[in-house]
Chains A and B, each alone.
Chain A
Amino acid sequence: MKVPYPDIQSDLAVTSHMYICRNNSHPHYEFIKCQRYKPYMLIRYIMVHYLDEDSDLTRNPFRKLTRIDCDKLFVTNSVVYSDTMKTERRPDVCQELYDVVLTELMTDGYEEIALDESGLVDINDGGSNEQET
């Protein structure tokens, strides 16, 4: 899913990451961010709760070593997401991984972050506002 930067025009640059959907009780959605593993994660312990997953189609759709950030939960309240936005390799993570992600998320709480909903709709082909569907 592409997410706009607050201070950069979204037709110029956006961030692009996979997210695991925790709650899809329409129209309220909650997402957990998956990031490519990078060296700063070895240097600074910025995240408290996280899971590291290697590429493994029996468990996840990741193509590279990935860190699942369980300190934050990203939410939207009016965006409708098309199934075309799901990853093609596999559209989900396995139940075992999903359960561990939820456990990590719930341990010590998490920061809830509201995504820019109109921005999301503008830049993701499979996203639309609820009113438009």
Chain B
Amino acid sequence: MINSNNRKLCLSGWLMEHGAVVYNSPLKLQKFLLMYEAFSKIAGEEADFSNLKGYKRGPVFSTVFGDYTHDRIEFDFVAKEAYSSGAIKINEDRAALCHFIVGTLSEEELSELTHKLRLWNSHRERIMRGEQQVSLCEDDFDQNDANMVNLLGCMYPLDMVRNSSIVSIDKHYFVFSNDDISRLTEQHFDVLDQLIHVEELHNPVYVEIDDEGRLLVD
């Protein structure tokens, strides 16, 4: 039996369809859902922080986690159905932004990022002590959290989100324009592989290909 509410099922269904790689990571699915609710809240729109618990790797929507972990096949089916039904209107731009954020950071970085939120951090001691089922509530999400999430949103202009493709190599996420991605050669992949071993790179790693085929790395 699936206990997740319709909103979370629709959002999960959206991610399954538009970002299967991210969806297949339980942690990244949770971060995607959290980001979507946080952006909804700071936009002054309906947000759903129900059944949110503090885990060591950050906030977790416990019903979604239970369904996804213990009954994955049914969860996938119901989430897909819920999204297809269009029962909940999803803000496509916001979902794409959240997918981009979650898709271009490692699980460790996403955990660290959500640890910065007062929503989780105000309960840090209890959570890290190993206490189970520490409830996090919407009121814990304060102005500092709103500022941080807002800043995160400012890093990713929508046209860039819409016109980019991601190449991931060993927890490094390289962002190319859709035009450049088709120009990538095997040698470029070799260079990226070399880069991650000899340079300190920070996700997301933005890369352009210049006229001479050289990678310009930001």
Contacts and interface: CB of A to CB of B under 8 A. Distances in A.
Contacts of A36: 155, 206, 218
The prevalent SS among residues of B at the interface is: mixed
B154 A37 contact: yes
Interface string A21-51: 0000000000000011111101110000000
Contacts of A13: 191, 195, 214-217
A16 interface: yes
Contacts of A57: none
B148 A38 contact: no
A17 interface: yes
Nearest to A6: B198
Nearest to A44: B112
A46 to B, nearest CB: 9
Contact of B151 (A2, A17, A42): A42
B216 A2 contact: yes
B70 interface: no
Interface string A1-27: 010011110111111110000000000
B109 A40 contact: yes
A99 interface: no
A56 interface: no
A54 interface: yes
B152 interface: yes
A58 to B, nearest CB: 18
A96 to B, nearest CB: 21
A40 B173 CA distance: 13
Contacts of B214: 10-14, 123
Interface string B144-158: 000010011011010
B199 A7 contact: yes
Contact of A14 (B151, B154, B217): B217
Contacts of A114: none
A35 B206 CA distance: 11
Interface in B188-211: 191, 194-195, 198-199, 202-204, 206, 208
Given A16-B208, A16-B218, A65-B154, A43 B113 contact: yes
Given A42-B152, A43-B109, A5 B218 contact: no
Given A42-B151, A54-B154, A11 B217 contact: no
Greatest chain B CB density within 10 A among A13, A14, A15 is at: A13
Contacts of A54: 154
A90 interface: no
Interface of B: 101, 105, 109, 112-113, 116, 148, 151-152, 154-155, 157, 187, 191, 194-195, 198-199, 202-204, 206, 208, 212, 214-218
Given A2-B216, A54-B154, 13 more contacts: A5-B198, A5-B199, A10-B214, A11-B214, A12-B191, A13-B214, A13-B217, A14-B214, A36-B218, A39-B203, A42-B148, A64-B155, A123-B214
Interface of A: 2, 5-8, 10-17, 35-40, 42-44, 54, 64-65, 123
